């Protein structure tokens, strides 16, 4: 017997209640989810019928294909098996750095090694020119990994260098993120590099989105930036393979980034991160290419790589950053384009400021994401009340990611201080213990401060009620972003 028309609303209401209850139970049973995230999802599911349930099923869990997760674990185990501690491994790091080193190692990071020489390249497209010159000097092998590689002037220069390297018989392997570098993949440059013999791989291609989303989140991305040349020289940082003019978002240009040239034993660690990705994506075995790299300087800088991703414990990156901030005694300077932290990092920053540490947080005044910008503003009042100096950069989109502590430790690389970098992206960061290199990074950050305006508590208190309501609502929803 068909349901009477008057019964349909009650029936549909019951179905929604039952579906919402099942999803809430799933949220409560889900492992590796923080209490704030659970609460935010439950509120969304209950407050927004259908929308909340759909949003959670699509974006609430870090889903990966089981076979892919297992393949990545197998590759890590294989590379760990061939890994031998280098003679440059530091047996005893300075006492002030011990908690940070231990946190990075506990999170799956590699051991600290000395004998490194790390150079901060220019804040201009000359940094790409330096990279191209190094590619042209390659003698044996080139590995490249970029989240965004654009077919603009800089991207074309690098692609042409790849083609020239193949013409000299140099082995070239390159990885680009399928979403971030989609314009390159669709361009003639991609085909030309392949025709020249470069091995080209896309990370996380979508295929059929409707089918893919059933087994894996569509927004898992490889956000790393790594170049390794001849097992002796590497480049890493926040800089994508693109012009500062950043053609896909020119209204925010110039994009201000950091690119570092790295020499010494830590190059081997960056090589290991690249090979882990390459072997996971292709199934090829190149574990025997993980060779020891001689010291570039004596005693040189102590450095340590921290590579993170969604197939591993999500807390690895924020744990290490929070530990670094907690280790501060006199100063902390942080540069990030996106500030949507977890509770541990936000508490660490405010706690450092309250105990007398000079804490400076540098953010772009104009952000390419309005939602992220408004969410960040939801944290500003408490940061300012704690004594944090908030600087808003006015010279373009500040895209660099730097943390310096006490003029002697630094962490820089591809990761933002946001939930996407913590939970969904594959990231790589370089921890360095060295006063001279930290001074170089601090000098660069001081140049950002000179191009910024200071935001005060009075400024925030003067915002309209509507703006404050919007910001605070988004800050509450931060665990979902």
Q: Above 70 in pLDDT, residue 63? A: no
Question: With bands split at pLDDT 50, 70 and 90, how would you rate the model's confidence at 61?
Answer: low
In a shared domain, residues 386 and 431 = yes
Distance separating alpha carbons of residues 15 and 10, to the nearest angstrom: 9
User: Cα angle at 291 between 287 and 297, to 5 degrees?
Assistant: 150
Q: Is residue 375 part of a domain?
A: yes
Six-digit token string for 471: 């910001």
pLDDT digits (tens, 9 = 90+) for 19-58: 777 777 777 777 667 776 777 777 777 777 777 777 776 6
Q: What CATH number has the domain bearing residue 272?
A: 3.30.870.10
Active-site residue, selected from the candidate residues 219, 311, 368, 406: 406
Q: Above 90 in pLDDT, residue 455? A: yes
Q: Above 80 in pLDDT, residue 87? A: no
- Which pLDDT value is given to residue 469? 87
Q: Is residue 111 part of a domain?
A: no
Q: Is residue 307 part of a domain?
A: no
Distance separating alpha carbons of residues 413 and 429, to the nearest angstrom: 4
Active-site residue, selected from the candidate residues 401, 418, 423, 434: 401
In a shared domain, residues 454 and 472 = yes
- Which pLDDT value is given to residue 77? 77
Q: Is residue 423 part of a domain?
A: yes
Please report the beta strands in 264-373, taking only residues with DSSP state E, as ranges in sequence order: 301-308, 331-335, 339-340, 358-364
What number is the average pLDDT over the span 345-367?
Answer: 97
Distance separating alpha carbons of residues 353 and 379, to the nearest angstrom: 14
What residues pair up with 334 in beta bridges, in sequence order? 361, 403
436: left (phi over 0), alpha (psi -120 to 50) or beta: alpha
pLDDT digits (tens, 9 = 90+) for 307-322: 998 887 667 899 999 9
Nearest to 335 by CA among 419, 447, 425: 447
Active-site residue, selected from the candidate residues 231, 399, 423, 434: 399
Alpha helices in 178-221 (DSSP H): 182-186, 188-196, 209-212
Q: What is the dihedral of CA 192, 195, 201, 204, to 10 degrees?
A: 60
In a shared domain, residues 277 and 382 = no
Highest mean pLDDT among 68-72, 77-81, 388-392: 388-392
In a shared domain, residues 169 and 191 = yes
Q: Is residue 211 part of a domain?
A: yes
* Active site annotation includes 223: yes
- Which pLDDT value is given to residue 64? 66
Distance separating alpha carbons of residues 403 and 196, to the nearest angstrom: 40
Distance separating alpha carbons of residues 403 and 441, to the nearest angstrom: 9
- Which pLDDT value is given to residue 220? 85
Six-digit token string for 292: 């020891």
* Active site annotation includes 401: yes
Q: Above 60 in pLDDT, residue 284? A: yes
Strands 141-146 and 171-177: parallel
Q: Which residue has the tokens 């999802």?
A: 41
Least confident of 48-57, 293-302, 457-466: 48-57
Render the burial of 176-205: b for 16+ CB within 10 Å, e for the rest: bbbbbbbbbbebebbeebeeeebebbbbbe
Number of domains forming the structure of the chain? 3
In a shared domain, residues 462 and 433 = yes
Distance separating alpha carbons of residues 272 and 145, to the nearest angstrom: 12
Residues sharing a CB contact under 8 Å with residue 192, sequence separation 6 or more, in sequence order: 159, 163
Sign of CA dihedral 83, 420, 128, 159: positive
In a shared domain, residues 160 and 281 = yes
Top-confidence residue, 6 or 342: 342
Residues sharing a CB contact under 8 Å with residue 253, sequence separation 6 or more, in sequence order: 244, 245, 246, 396, 397
- Which pLDDT value is given to residue 16? 61
Q: Are 415 and 91 in contact (CB under 8 A)?
A: no
In a shared domain, residues 147 and 209 = yes
- Which pLDDT value is given to residue 369? 85
Q: Which of 267, 297, 327 is the last residue of a domain?
A: 297
Q: Above 60 in pLDDT, residue 6? A: no
pLDDT digits (tens, 9 = 90+) for 126-143: 999 999 999 999 999 999
Nearest to 179 by CA among 390, 411, 420: 420
Rg (CA), the chain: 23
Nearest to 177 by CA among 197, 140, 149, 218: 149
**Chain mean position to CA 284:** 26
Share of the chain above pLDDT 70, in %: 88
Q: Is residue 82 part of a domain?
A: yes
What number is the average pLDDT over the span 454-470?
Answer: 93
What number is the average pLDDT over the span 49-76?
Answer: 72
- Cα–Cα distances in Å, from 12 out to 7, 17, 49, 282? 9, 9, 11, 47
In a shared domain, residues 326 and 455 = yes
In a shared domain, residues 341 and 457 = yes
* Active site annotation includes 399: yes
Q: Is residue 335 part of a domain?
A: yes
pLDDT digits (tens, 9 = 90+) for 368-386: 888 888 889 999 999 999 9
Active-site residue, selected from the candidate residues 177, 223, 418, 423: 223
Question: With bands split at pLDDT 50, 70 and 90, how would you rate the model's confidence at 179?
Answer: very high
- Which pLDDT value is given to residue 385? 97
- Which pLDDT value is given to residue 1? 46
- Which pLDDT value is given to residue 421? 92
Distance separating alpha carbons of residues 329 and 79, to the nearest angstrom: 37
CB atoms within 10 A of CB 92: 7
In a shared domain, residues 403 and 450 = yes
- Which pLDDT value is given to residue 103? 94
- Which pLDDT value is given to residue 337? 96
Q: Which of 268, 297, 326 is the last residue of a domain?
A: 297
The count of C-alpha atoms lying within 13 angstroms of the C-alpha of 329, restricted to the half-sphere facing its C-beta, is: 7
Active-site residue, selected from the candidate residues 143, 225, 277, 434: 225
CB atoms within 10 A of CB 310: 21
Q: How high does pLDDT run on average in the chain? A: 88
Domain enclosing residue 42, as ranges: 34-60
In a shared domain, residues 424 and 338 = yes
In a shared domain, residues 346 and 214 = no
Q: Is residue 262 part of a domain?
A: yes
Top-confidence residue, 8 or 445: 445
Top-confidence residue, 251 or 195: 195
Q: Above 90 in pLDDT, residue 60? A: no
- Which pLDDT value is given to residue 390? 98
Nearest to 312 by CA among 34, 37, 26, 73: 73
Share of the chain above pLDDT 90, in %: 64
Active-site residue, selected from the candidate residues 30, 219, 230, 459: 230
């Amino acid at each position: 017997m068909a349901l009477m028309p008057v019964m349909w609303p009650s029936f549909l209401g019951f179905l929604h209640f039952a579906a919402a209850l099942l999803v809430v139970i799933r949220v409560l049973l889900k492992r590796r989810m923080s209490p704030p995230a659970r609460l935010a999802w439950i509120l969304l599911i209950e407050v927004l019928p259908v929308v909340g349930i759909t949003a959670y099923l699509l974006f609430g869990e870090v889903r990966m294909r089981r076979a892919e997760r297992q393949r990545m674990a197998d590759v890590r185990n294989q590379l760990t098996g061939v890994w031998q501690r280098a003679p440059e491994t530091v047996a005893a790091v300075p006492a002030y750095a011990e908690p940070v080193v231990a946190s990075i190692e506990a999170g799956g990071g590699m051991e600290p090694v000395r004998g490194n020489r790390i150079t901060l390249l220019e804040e201009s497209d000359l940094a790409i020119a330096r990279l191209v010159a190094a590619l042209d000097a390659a003698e044996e092998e080139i590995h490249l990994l970029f989240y965004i590689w654009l077919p603009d002037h800089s991207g074309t220069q690098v692609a042409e260098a790849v083609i020239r390297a193949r013409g000299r018989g140099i082995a070239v392997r390159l990885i680009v993120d399928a979403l971030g570098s989609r314009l390159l993949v669709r361009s003639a440059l991609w085909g030309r590099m392949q025709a020249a013999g470069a091995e080209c791989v896309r990370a996380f291609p979508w295929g059929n989105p409707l089918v893919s989303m059933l087994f894996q989140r569509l927004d898992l991305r490889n956000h790393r930036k790594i170049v390794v040349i001849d097992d002796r020289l590497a480049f890493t940082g926040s800089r994508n393979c693109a012009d500062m003019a950043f053609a896909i978002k020119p209204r925010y240009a110039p994009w201000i980034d950091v690119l570092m040239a790295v020499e010494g034993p830590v190059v081997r660690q960056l090589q290991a991160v690249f090979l882990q990705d390459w072997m996971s994506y292709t199934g090829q075995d190149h574990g025997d290419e993980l060779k020891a790299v001689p010291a570039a300087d004596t005693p040189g800088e102590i450095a340590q790589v921290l590579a993170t991703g969604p197939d591993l414990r999500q807390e690895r990156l924020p744990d290490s950053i929070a530990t670094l901030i907690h280790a501060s005694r006199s100063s902390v300077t942080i540069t990030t384009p996106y500030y949507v932290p977890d509770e541990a990092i936000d508490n660490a920053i405010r706690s450092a400021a309250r105990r007398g540490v000079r804490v400076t947080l540098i953010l772009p005044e104009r952000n390419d994401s309005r939602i992220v910008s408004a969410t960040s503003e939801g944290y500003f009042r408490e940061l300012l009340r704690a004594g944090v100096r908030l600087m808003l950069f006015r010279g373009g989109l500040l895209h660099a990611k730097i943390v310096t502590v006490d003029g002697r430790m630094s962490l820089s690389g591809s990761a933002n201080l946001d939930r996407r970098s913590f939970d969904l992206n594959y990231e790589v960061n370089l921890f360095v213990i060295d006063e001279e290199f930290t001074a170089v990074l601090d000098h660069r950050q001081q140049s950002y401060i000179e191009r910024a305006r200071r935001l005060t508590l009075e400024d925030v208190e003067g915002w309209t009620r509507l703006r404050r309501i919007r910001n605070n609502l988004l800050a509450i929803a931060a665990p979902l972003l």
